[in-house]
Amino acid sequence: MLILGIDPGTATTGFGLIEVIEDLKGEKYKLVDFGWIKTDKEELKEKRLSLIYQEITAVLKKYKPDVMVIERLFFATNVKTAMAVSEASGVMRLAAAQQNTAIFDYVPMQVKMVITGNGRADKSLMKKEVRKLLSFRSPNHKKTYFDDVCDALAVAICFARKNMLNYGKAGKGGEEK
């Protein structure tokens, strides 16, 4: 099963694609691809959302994942930021719907609990666990936006751990509670 994880944002959106491989020893995860979509804050909001839509659509068309899993905004102290992230999430959902890709989402606390066993885990522990689960190192570039990519990969792994057995029974699409 191919799972596309998304950490939505308007400035930077992280994405990570994993493949779930089941063998006699259990479930394993293979890193297929990861990256980020960066938009120019000087551009009009409409242009930024259009770029996000186009880039997510390109990833969906290239890999044809079985599901797309989005990190859901849990709360926000800045309403303007929350609205912008919600709009970005909306265009990503539209792209997935147009490609007939099932959509699920989780709040960060759920993801942290599934990945580390602690719903309040910090970024460094999350990155360490994601690296360990996928057996890879983060890029050595000066600014890679790896936090966004790590969040995207974590949400994909979260879906895999919570839903692999139930996915076929529940049908495609829906929101995980």
Residues near 142 by Cβ (< 8 Å), separated by ≥ 6?
A: none
Write the DSSP symbol of residue 161: H
**Residue 76 backbone phi and psi in degrees, to 5:** -150, 135
Residue whose token pair is 């926000």 = 76
Whether residue 127 contacts residue 138, with contact meaning beta carbons closer than 8 Å, is answered with yes
Residues belonging to the active site: 7, 71, 148
Contact 14, 151 (CB under 8 A): yes
